[in-house]
């Protein structure tokens, strides 16, 4: 099975052709926004991180920003920094340049203030947009695609309709040579034995159990109940009773394949097939980790109705029940509630989602792309100092 | 899904002691399982919420998808709503007062 994508200098395939402005630190976000207001068609990313972070957080922020810049949906990148921050803008840019794509950095303190940096930035972005517009798509196989599978605002239908259907999609996708990333470690607690049983080897099996144990221990060491944060109030209202129940529904999204590899947050896979990434259940943080790992497209199931998109990847929204689908049609791409009402089987819905993934890979815009949803959130491990 | 009686409910796995309502269920309606077993619904059940098929003792496991999803915090009778008022999860529970 083939689709049309943009081949980047590093050989990876983009399904979108974005030019982005990436702030290395919270202090340079507004300069990025000001540049984006003066040029049409550029995405300015916003985040509150990049400074006063301890080394483990600084490293994760750097890895995430560099990974998003390297994402093959991105044609060119302008990194904007302040100059005195922990996460250095020229360093972010040099990591991104490993991919061979055009990347530049501007440091506000070196350029001489924000108005001058905006003027410089507009010049650079104009050139980058012209460059991106000249790129052509080529016909490529599904083995060049990474599909991230995500759920957010789950209800008790998630594990009965949309998640098992997306699991069918994942299996079909892997059969075609593609890669699936299943994330949200918190939502594997209570279902980790199912994933561990399917590990390709002992090392992967132990890593699966390790990331789940480490997530659970974070709450236990604080003496706190994860259940106060996850499941969320809407999950309980939607009929989910415990974290274990939520997790058992959550892991279905990855299908039934062997787990080939376990990635740290924002790390790029080195294997094809089903891969896990250690991310929190927080949707925006999880999806940001996925795109930093090179995921070009996200399939996202939701029961309560989550309109979230992503900075550089299309997000296909799959409703778990038809009540919410008809209420929030403007945000939903697919109604998997048809499984609950008996209109379609899980297998039929899995094929329907698979076809939608192909269409979106070929350029069809998702609802959240049309609405301009560009959520972005980097996972933090510790406090700011 | 092994049993979905007239789209009213779904039994995910034969080992389960709960079913999930696929539409709101009224008190007095009957869960008619394909093995011939019948359970009368004891209270109003909201959409997508769980109903006990058997008596679950206090501390007993609640089983859905063939897996333990938590334990009963009090005795749950057949036909009763199974949710956060009578079930607790067992994972990630720090115990600081």
Question: Are A76 and A187 in a shared domain?
Answer: no
User: Can you give A164-227 as a three-state secondary structure string?
Assistant: HHHHHHHHHHHHCCCEEEECCHHHHCCCHHHHHHCECCHHHHHHHHHHHHHHHHHHHHHCCEHH
Query: pLDDT tens for residues B29-41?
Result: 999 998 899 999 9
pLDDT of residue B1: 53
Query: pLDDT tens for residues A210-257?
Result: 999 999 999 899 999 999 899 999 999 999 999 999 999 999 999 999
Question: In chain A, what percentage of residues exceed pLDDT 90?
Answer: 98
Q: Do the chains contact at A243 and B89, CB–CB below 8 Å? A: yes
Query: pLDDT tens for residues A341-368?
Result: 999 999 999 999 999 999 999 999 999 9
Q: Is the pLDDT of residue B6 over 70?
A: no
Question: Are A129 and A152 in a shared domain?
Answer: no
In what helix (H) or strand (E) does residue A318 lie, and over which residues does it extend? strand A315-319
Distance from CA of B11 to the nearest CA of A (A): 10
In what helix (H) or strand (E) does residue B50 lie, and over which residues does it extend? strand B50-52
> A107, A52 in Cβ contact below 8 A?
no
Domain assignment present for residue A376? The answer is: no
Mapped onto helix, strand or coil, the DSSP state of residue A359 is helix
Q: Do the chains contact at A321 and B47, CB–CB below 8 Å? A: yes
Question: Are A261 and A145 in a shared domain?
Answer: yes
Neighbours of B20 (CB within 10 A): 25
Query: pLDDT tens for residues A279-315?
Result: 999 999 999 999 999 999 999 999 999 999 999 999 9
A233 in contact with chain B, both atoms CB, cutoff 8 A: no
Domain assignment present for residue A158? The answer is: yes
Q: Give residues 182 to 201 of A whose Cβ lies within 8 Å of B.
A: 186, 189-191, 194
Question: Are A159 and A214 in a shared domain?
Answer: yes
Q: Is the pLDDT of residue B4 over 60?
A: no
Give the residue among A80, A91, A56 at the shortest CA–CA distance from A383.
A56
In whole numbers, what is the pLDDT of chain B averaged over residues? 92
Peptide bond into A231 cis (omega under 30): yes
Q: Is the pLDDT of residue A132 over 80?
A: yes
Residue B7 pLDDT grade (very low, low, confident, very high; cuts 50, 70, 90): confident
Mapped onto helix, strand or coil, the DSSP state of residue A296 is coil
A209 in contact with chain B, both atoms CB, cutoff 8 A: no
A224 in contact with chain B, both atoms CB, cutoff 8 A: yes
Domain assignment present for residue A199? The answer is: yes
Mean pLDDT (whole number) for B7-26 = 94
Q: Which residue has the tokens 């957010």?
A: A152
Query: pLDDT tens for residues A202-211?
Result: 999 999 999 9
> B56, B79 in Cβ contact below 8 A?
no
Distance from CA of A224 to the nearest CA of B (A): 4
Question: Are A213 and A85 in a shared domain?
Answer: no
CA distance A330 to A373: 12
Q: Is the pLDDT of residue A331 over 70?
A: yes
Q: Is the ipTM of this complex over 0.90?
A: yes
Q: Are strands B87-88 and B67-72 parallel, antiparallel or unpaired?
A: antiparallel
CA distance B97 to A34: 48
Q: Do the chains contact at B93 and A226, CB–CB below 8 Å? A: yes
Question: Are A156 and A196 in a shared domain?
Answer: yes
Question: In chain A, what percentage of residues exceed pLDDT 70?
Answer: 100
For B82, which residue in chain A has the nearest alpha carbon?
Answer: A241
Instruction: Choose one of A94, A116, A133: the last residue of a domain.
Output: A133
> A293, A181 in Cβ contact below 8 A?
yes
For chain A, what is the domain count? 2
The DSSP annotation for B12-48 comes to --TT-SEEEESS-B-TT-EEE-TTS-EEE--S-B-TT
Residue A218 phi, psi (nearest 5): -55, -40
Distance from CA of B22 to the nearest CA of A (A): 6
For residue A156, the chain B residues in CB contact (below 8 A) are 20, 48-50
For residue A225, the chain B residues in CB contact (below 8 A) are 92-94
Q: Do the chains contact at B69 and A189, CB–CB below 8 Å? A: no
Q: Is the pLDDT of residue A59 over 50?
A: yes
A244 in contact with chain B, both atoms CB, cutoff 8 A: yes
> A319, A162 in Cβ contact below 8 A?
yes
Q: What global pTM score does this model have?
A: 0.96
Domain with A100 in it:
18-133
Sign of the torsion angle spanned by Cα atoms A129, A133, A134, A135: positive
> A67, A44 in Cβ contact below 8 A?
no
Residue A337 pLDDT grade (very low, low, confident, very high; cuts 50, 70, 90): very high
Q: Do the chains contact at B69 and A241, CB–CB below 8 Å? A: yes
Residue A126 phi, psi (nearest 5): -55, -45
Residue B96 pLDDT grade (very low, low, confident, very high; cuts 50, 70, 90): confident
Mapped onto helix, strand or coil, the DSSP state of residue A32 is helix
Mapped onto helix, strand or coil, the DSSP state of residue A145 is coil
Task: List the domains of chain B with CATH numbers.
Answer: 5-88 (2.30.130.110)
Q: Do the chains contact at B87 and A191, CB–CB below 8 Å? A: no
Mean pLDDT (whole number) for B50-58 = 98
Mapped onto helix, strand or coil, the DSSP state of residue A151 is strand
Question: Are A124 and A262 in a shared domain?
Answer: no
pLDDT of residue B5: 46
Q: Is the pLDDT of residue B94 over 90?
A: no
A235: left (phi over 0), alpha (psi -120 to 50) or beta: alpha
Domain assignment present for residue A237? The answer is: yes
């Amino acid at each position: 099975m083939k689709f049309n994508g943009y081949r980047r200098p590093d050989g990876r395939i983009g399904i979108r052709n974005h030019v982005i402005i990436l702030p290395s630190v919270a202090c340079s976000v507004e300069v990025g926004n000001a540049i984006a207001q003066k040029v049409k068609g550029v995405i300015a990313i916003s985040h509150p991180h990049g400074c006063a972070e301890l080394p483990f957080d600084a490293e994760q922020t750097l890895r995430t920003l560099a990974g998003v810049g390297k994402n093959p949906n991105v044609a060119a990148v302008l990194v904007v920094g302040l100059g005195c921050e922990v996460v250095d803008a020229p360093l972010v840019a040099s990591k991104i340049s490993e991919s061979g794509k055009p990347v530049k950095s501007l440091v506000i303190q070196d350029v001489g203030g924000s108005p001058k940096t905006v003027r410089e930035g507009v010049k650079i972005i104009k050139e980058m947009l012209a460059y991106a517009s000249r790129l052509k798509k080529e016909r490529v196989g599904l083995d060049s695609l990474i599909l991230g599978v995500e759920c957010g605002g789950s209800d008790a239908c998630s594990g009965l309709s949309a998640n098992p259907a997306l699991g069918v999609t994942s299996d079909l996708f892997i059969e075609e040579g593609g890669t699936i990333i299943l994330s949200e470690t918190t939502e594997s607690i209570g279902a980790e034995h199912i994933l561990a049983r399917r590990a390709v080897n002992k090392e992967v099996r132990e890593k699966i159990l390790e990331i789940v144990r480490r997530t659970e221990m974070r709450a236990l060491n604080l003496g706190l109940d994860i259940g106060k944060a996850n499941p969320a109030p809407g999950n309980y209202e939607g009929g989910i009773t415990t974290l274990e129940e939520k997790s058992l529904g959550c892991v279905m999204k990855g299908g039934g394949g062997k787990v080939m590899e376990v990635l740290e947050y924002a790390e790029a896979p080195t294997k094809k097939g089903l891969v896990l990434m250690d991310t929190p259940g927080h949707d925006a943080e999880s999806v940001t980790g996925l795109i930093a790992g090179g995921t070009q497209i996200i399939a996202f199931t939701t029961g309560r109705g989550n309109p979230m998109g992503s900075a550089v990847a299309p997000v296909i929204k799959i409703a778990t029940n038809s009540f919410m689908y008809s209420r929030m049609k403007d945000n939903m791409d697919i109604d998997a509630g048809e499984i609950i009402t008996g209109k379609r089987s899980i297998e039929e819905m899995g094929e329907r989602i698979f076809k939608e993934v192909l269409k979106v890979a070929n350029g069809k815009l998702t609802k959240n792309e049309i609405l301009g949803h560009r959520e972005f959130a980097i996972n933090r491990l510790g406090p700011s100092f | 899904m092994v049993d979905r009686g007239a789209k009213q409910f779904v039994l995910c796995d034969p080992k389960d002691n709960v079913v999930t309502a696929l539409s709101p269920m009224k008190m007095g309606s009957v869960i008619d399982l394909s093995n011939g077993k019948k359970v009368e619904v004891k209270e109003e059940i909201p959409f997508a919420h769980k109903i006990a098929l058997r008596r679950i003792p206090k501390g007993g496991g609640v089983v859905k998808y063939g897996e333990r999803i938590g334990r009963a915090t009090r005795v749950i009778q057949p036909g009763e709503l199974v949710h956060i008022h009578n079930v607790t999860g067992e994972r990630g529970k720090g115990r600081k007062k």
